[in-house]
């Protein structure tokens, strides 16, 4: 394997998140064409070895990750130790964040004050002071997306927003399979 391919491997390992070709080129201090060649070499190397890791291209760039067949080991060896309340708070932060701690308390209750330090300690949430006001902002981290294998969260619609009901209203529904209600054999 070339020196550039091993450099790219080291960068992907150390960053622990997807990187696009431009960012890889910047970190490796070389041009985009060289990075593309190095990535092809690296991906070929990983594709032909019988290891637990792989190089994959995602919407956010290239990353070094555990192959799907070994993902069960993540929960086995690195279990998350969160109660139901903390998980619900984490879900609220993921869906509404970044959100102020005050708004989160209004939404979830005072248990948030125990959940946030726990979520920060486990690396799922980042907390930062707002320039104005007294409440901190909280939001999920890259570890949240990696651990729960989520590329992106759904966009929430404001209350009262209309939802398209037909393919004519929403072109994305043209490719959706038709809904067929279940038929109970006993009826």
In the predicted structure, residue 35 carries a pLDDT above the cut 80: yes
* pLDDT the model gives residue 169: 46
In the predicted structure, residue 163 carries a pLDDT above the cut 60: no
151 or 109, which is more confident: 109
Quickly list DSSP for 147-172: HTT-S-PPPPPPTT-----STTT-GG
* pLDDT the model gives residue 79: 61
Q: Is the CATH code 3.30.420.40 the one for domain 84-147?
A: no
* pLDDT the model gives residue 158: 53
Question: Average pLDDT, stretch 37-66?
Answer: 91
Out of 3.30.470.20, 1.10.10.10, 1.10.3720.10, 3.60.15.10, the CATH code matching 3-72 is 1.10.10.10
Own/partner pairs for 20-27, CB < 8 Å, 24+ apart? 20/60, 20/61, 20/62, 21/61, 21/62, 23/61, 24/61, 24/62
Per domain, the residue ranges of the chain are 3-72, 84-147
68 or 103, which is more confident: 103
Q: Kindly report the average pLDDT of the chain as a whole number.
A: 80
- Cα dihedral 15, 77, 58, 90 sign: negative
Quick check: do 3-72 and 84-147 share a fold?
A: yes
pTM: 0.48
């Amino acid at each position: 394997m070339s020196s550039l391919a091993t450099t790219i491997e080291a960068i992907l390992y150390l960053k622990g998140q997807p990187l696009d070709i431009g960012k890889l080129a910047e970190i490796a201090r070389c041009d985009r064409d060289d990075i593309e060649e190095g990535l092809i070499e690296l991906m070929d190397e990983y594709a032909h070895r019988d290891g637990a890791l792989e190089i994959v291209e995602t919407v956010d760039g290239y990353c070094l990750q555990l192959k799907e067949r070994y993902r069960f080991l993540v929960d086995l060896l690195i279990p998350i130790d969160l109660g139901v309340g903390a998980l619900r708070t984490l879900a609220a932060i993921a869906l509404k964040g970044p959100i102020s701690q005050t708004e989160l308390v209004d939404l979830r209750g005072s248990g948030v004050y125990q959940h946030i330090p726990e979520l920060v300690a486990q690396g799922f949430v980042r907390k930062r002071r707002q320039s104005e006001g007294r409440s901190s902002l909280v939001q999920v981290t890259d570890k949240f997306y990696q651990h729960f294998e989520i590329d992106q969260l759904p966009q929430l619609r404001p209350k009262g927003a209309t939802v398209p009901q037909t393919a004519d209203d929403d072109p994305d529904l043209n490719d959706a399979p038709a809904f067929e209600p279940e038929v109970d054999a006993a009826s």
